[in-house]
Amino acid sequence: MIHVEPVEPDDDLWREWCTRAARETAALISGSQKTIKEDLYKEGRDWIFRLFHGKCAYCEVRLDESQRYGDLDHFRPKKRVTDEHGKIVFVKGSAHPGYFWLAYGWTNLLPSCLGCNRPGTGPDGLKSGKWDKFPIAGLYAVTDRDDLKREKPWLLNPYEDNPDDHLEFDFLTGIVGPKTPRGKKTIGMLGLNREGLVDARIRTMNTVRSLWGEYTEAVARLESSRADEKEPFITEYQKGIAPFSAIARAFIRRGTEELQARVIQRSALTPSSP
């Protein structure tokens, strides 16, 4: 998972969709419309998926045909709301109505792979799937008039949070671990260490480790053309374009810090000119 800035597209079709979405949102809030139009919020799919470079917002797997091109997940569930164990959330004796007023809100929509979104059990026995789970530590908002800031979601939101503050990676095993309680809850709910993901991260690390080694060797030998050949691939990870950029960026960040430290140490040991 990586942080993604929620930047609106500069697109007339996008603005027209947002206008229709706002109109339908007002109808839901007023009660004149009771049904959430699935086709309408899914119209924003392509724009939102592009923000995440066609990857799952949670685990960063590529959303291709093997993933049925992914789901459009509501971070705050639009209908039923359950806790981390899948039990219905009650507020003042009534079942939470769902965040219906956010059904068309594009910053509440995230691309998700089937494994992160849909409940299930993997071949390794690990249960995962966000679906309608939305546990919080604060008070639930139940109407559009309630302040969402009073909620303290356990699940990390790629639009609002910096996952680097909550998650850390083991570069050898491909396992993601928690730095914070929120990180731990997020890993558990989404199954971020399910079998296929760990294997994919290991393959990514094998590629990145080799790439970084060739790049730093070229830099050390002042082979600028060779270094320039590798730089675009490194940039793809640094910009979050490539799948599993989070673990790759963490590795590159550590490698850059070590490289800078060696340069500083070497400078300190080099005698200054008289």
**Average pLDDT in the chain:** 93
pLDDT the model gives residue 258: 83
- The answer to whether the beta carbons of residues 101 and 22 sit under 8 Å apart is no
SS3 assignment, position 127: strand
Cβ contacts of 16 within 8 Å, gap of 6 or more: none
Type of residue at 240: G
pLDDT the model gives residue 241: 96
pLDDT the model gives residue 10: 92
Distance (Å, whole) CA 146 – CA 138: 13
Local confidence band at 105 (pLDDT 50, 70, 90 cut-offs) = very high
Local confidence band at 69 (pLDDT 50, 70, 90 cut-offs) = confident
Distances (CA, A) of 156 to 1, 58, 183, 184: 9, 9, 7, 10
- The percent of residues in the chain predicted with pLDDT above 70, rounded, is 96
**Burial category of 189 from C-beta neighbours within 10 Å (exposed 0-12, middle 13-18, buried 19 and up):** buried
- Look up the pTM and report it: 0.91
Cβ contacts of 100 within 8 Å, gap of 6 or more: 28, 36, 78, 79
Q: Span 60-84, mean pLDDT? A: 93
pLDDT the model gives residue 29: 97
For residue range 220-266, what is the model confidence (pLDDT) as tens digits? 888 999 999 999 999 999 999 999 999 999 999 998 888 777 767 66
- The answer to whether the beta carbons of residues 58 and 112 sit under 8 Å apart is yes
Cβ contacts of 134 within 8 Å, gap of 6 or more: 75, 76, 77, 81, 82, 83, 89, 153, 155
Task: Read off φ and ψ for residue 79, nearest 5 degrees.
Answer: -125, -100
- The percent of residues in the chain predicted with pLDDT above 90, rounded, is 83
pLDDT at residue 90 is higher than 80? yes
Distances (CA, A) of 70 to 28, 66, 102, 116, 223: 26, 9, 20, 10, 42
